[in-house]
Amino acid sequence: MPHDHHDHDDHFHHEGISPSGHPYRADDDTPLTYWQTMEIAVRELLVEKGHVTAAEIAAQIDRMDARSPANGAAVVARAWTDPAFREHLLADGSAATREMGFDIGPMHLLAVENTPGVHNVIVCTLCSCYPRNLLGLPPDWYKSRAYRSRLVREPRRVLSEFGLTLPADTTIRVHDSTADMRYVVIPERPAGTEDWDADRLAALVTRDSMIGTGLPRPAA
């Protein structure tokens, strides 16, 4: 029963970093589940049969980990400060964000802009479609029965539960991501930021403001 890897494990646990550079996570030490067992088995079979390499999987995880709402915030802040980019983003969101290094892959990005009197909000009632190239992986609530069921029927009530109460004369446009488009909301630029540059503005752009369940932070 060879267990020579234990020495390595102890070493790497001590360092807190795996050989591939990923921090070890708590799930490494919890009892193995059926579905974890399947993940290992499927991955090994695919690698052994030449359908994918371990390096491809690691690189894909790195790409995923590099995606966060900071990507979307950079896009929004640029749209606020660069009129030509804003036009491009609204006309062809996939191309405009790809130019910034945020490739949406085979999907298509559609940017929807909040204006005085119009507020946009995004949902996927059929599954969990989300602009992963700009925002990373979706939060649990976005995938929940409550959000998927209720947003299309009572958006004002749902938004109020997020702490967002809109003026009565604001029109709400709900976007259900039913097919090949992915959506991002361009929120309204906060007042009092007229002389701010894009980097400073990006810090005001929250994830929820790009889903439509929130607004950007106010200028302090």
Partner 1 sequence: MTEAATGGTDGAPQFPDGAAVRVKALMPPGHVRTPAYLRGKRGIVERRLGPFPSPEQLAYNLPAERLPLYRVRFTMAEVWGPAAERPDDTLDAEIYGPWLLPED
Partner 2 sequence: MDRFDGKSWHDMGGGEGGALTDLPPDHDFALWEKRVDALMVLMTSKGHFSVDGLRRVLEDMGPRAFETMSYYERWMAAVNQNLVEAGLYTTTELGERMERVARRGGTYGLAADPRSTDRD
The binding site for partner 1 (CB under 8 A) comprises: 108, 110, 125-126, 152-157, 171-181
219 C-beta neighbours (distance < 10 Å), count: 14
> 10 Å Cβ neighbour count for 131?
30
The alpha-helical segments, DSSP class H, found in 92-197 are 93-99, 132-135, 145-150, 155-161
43 binds, among partner 2, partner 1, none (CB under 5 to 8 A by kind): partner 2
Amino acid in position 19: P
Distance CA 109, CA 94 (A): 5
Question: Which residue in the block uniquely carries the two structure tokens 């945020």?
Answer: 102
> Rule CB under 8 A: is residue 49 a binding residue for partner 2?
yes
Contact with partner 2 (CB under 8 A): which of 156, 162, 173, 219?
162
How far apart CA 106 and CA 108 sit, in angstroms, is: 7
Q: Which of 20, 94, 129, 160 is catalytic?
A: 129
Kindly list the distances between the CA atom of residue 45 and the CA atoms of 40, 49, 51, 53, 99, in Å, as whole numbers in the listed order: 9, 6, 9, 11, 37
Catalytic annotation, pick one of 20, 68, 94, 124: 124
Q: Does 21 bind partner 2 (CB under 8 A)?
A: no
Which one-letter amino acid corresponds to residue 172? Answer: I
Residue 25 interacts with, from partner 1, partner 2, none (CB under 5-8 Å by kind)? partner 2
144 counts as catalytic: no
Choose one: 85-93, 96-104, 154-162, 165-173; the region binding partner 2 (CB under 8 A).
Answer: 154-162
* Stretch touching partner 2 by CB under 8 A, among 48-56, 81-89, 96-104, 108-116: 48-56
Residue 20 annotated in active site: no
By C-alpha distance, which of 152, 204, 206 is closest to 177? Answer: 152
Regarding 210 and contact with partner 2 (CB under 8 A), the answer is no
Mark whether 94 is an active-site residue: no
Active-site residue (options: 18, 20, 68, 127): 127
Torsion, Cα of 171, 132, 190, 150 (10° steps):
30
30 binds, among partner 1, partner 2, none (CB under 5 to 8 A by kind): partner 2
* Choice from 70, 90, 100, 152 touching partner 2 (CB under 8 A): 152
Instruction: Identify the CA nearest to 109 among candidates 181, 210, 208.
Output: 181
Binding site for partner 2 (CB under 8 A): 1-2, 4-5, 8-9, 22, 24-33, 35-46, 49, 51-52, 54, 56-57, 60-61, 64-65, 105-106, 125-128, 137, 139-141, 143-150, 152-153, 158, 161-162, 176
Catalytic residues: 124, 127-129
